[in-house]
Chains A and B, each alone.
Chain A
Amino acid sequence: MNKPLHEFEALVAAARSDAPPPVQVEQQVIAALRRLSPVDERPLACMAIASAAVAAALAVIAFAQYDIIADPLFHLLYSASL
């Protein structure tokens, strides 16, 4: 085996038992995760969808009614019925 590498491997064997300083990161991790969590927007999204659906239905009804009301014969026939 290459002598320098052999010496290096002996060095690493000694180094393996080197321990890091103690760490305690659970509080910081939880704090970081809280900052990342998005606000639950599902209720707002549901309201927006429901409002849009009601608005679309009203628009369809309104356009249908407008067609009828805008017809000149409607007023004539309405008056005649009275």
Chain B
Amino acid sequence: MTTSASDDCAQTPIDAADEKDIALALQGVEAAYARLVNRYEQEIAKQLWRFTRDPATLESLVQDVFVEAYISLSGFRGNAPLLHWLRRIATRVGYRHWKQEARRRREDAPCFAANIRRGLFSECAAPSEAAEYAFLMLQQLPTDDRLVLTLMYFEQCDTREIAGRMGWSRAKVKVRAWRARNKLAKLLEKEGYGKKNHEQAIT
């Protein structure tokens, strides 16, 4: 697994424009905070697109991130880029969304496996299709496992970064990652992936 940008953040100081806008935002200048939101909303949306495939929910989650960021803004120390700090908040907002969704799913219990079509791994033409399948597979895992694998696979985070974002110990992340990969492998085998002949599709 490649190392994430977390290795850079210790050396990279906060951007001067961000520092200025943060100072103004803390004084109550709305336009300054609007600039910060505008600067990073698409990056945060890209991250949260791993947590939901619904555009309306995505917008709501992105809003939540920036509202929570403003409330905690006075606690931002400025020794790392603002985007790293926002990503931490986004991870927790996304995780919370999954927890709420999991509670609702237990009541509805839809069959997610029916949405997954076999034999299309190598034939996925569009990144959006690949992302959709990956999302549906990971959705079958318990929330904590899903989070660890989503951050590892999509964000290419290492265990240190995941631990930092969630406030977990690194040992917990390592154990969780190992177990999650085993569960995912079993799910994939059950769906017929990894076998030579996997042409049959289920709808």
Q: Which residues of A does B touch, CB under 8 Å?
A: 2-12, 14-30, 32-33, 36
Contacts and interface: CB of A to CB of B under 8 A. Distances in A.
Given A5-B188, A16-B154, A29 B63 contact: yes
B194 A25 contact: no
A33 B23 CA distance: 17
B184 A5 contact: yes
Give the interface size class of chain B.
35 or more
B67 interface: yes
Nearest to A22: B42
B55 interface: yes
A5 B49 contact: no
Nearest to A10: B121
A20 B128 CA distance: 9
B49 to A, nearest CB: 4
Given A4-B188, A8-B184, A33 B42 contact: no
Given A25-B37, A26-B34, A4 B194 contact: yes
Query: Interface majority SS on B: helix, strand, loop or mixed?
Result: helix
Given A12-B153, A18-B131, A20-B46, A4 B34 contact: no
Contact of A4 (B63, B127, B153, B185): B185
A3 B67 CA distance: 43
A8 B121 CA distance: 7
Interface centre among A21, A25, A32, A33 (most CB of B within 10 A): A25
A23 B121 contact: no
A23 B134 contact: no
B24 interface: no
Nearest to A12: B153
A8 B67 contact: no
A25 B63 contact: yes
B127 A16 contact: yes
Nearest to A16: B154
A25 B59 contact: yes
The 6 A-B residue pairs with the shortest CB-CB distance, nearest first, are A4-B194, A4-B188, A20-B49, A15-B131, A18-B131, A3-B194
25 contacts: A3-B194, A4-B189, A4-B193, A7-B122, A7-B193, A8-B137, A8-B184, A9-B153, A10-B121, A14-B127, A15-B133, A15-B134, A18-B127, A18-B130, A20-B42, A21-B45, A21-B55, A23-B41, A23-B42, A23-B58, A25-B41, A25-B66, A29-B33, A32-B67, A36-B67
Interface in B104-154: 121-122, 124, 126-128, 130-131, 133-134, 137, 153-154
Contacts of A19: 46, 49, 127
Nearest to B133: A11
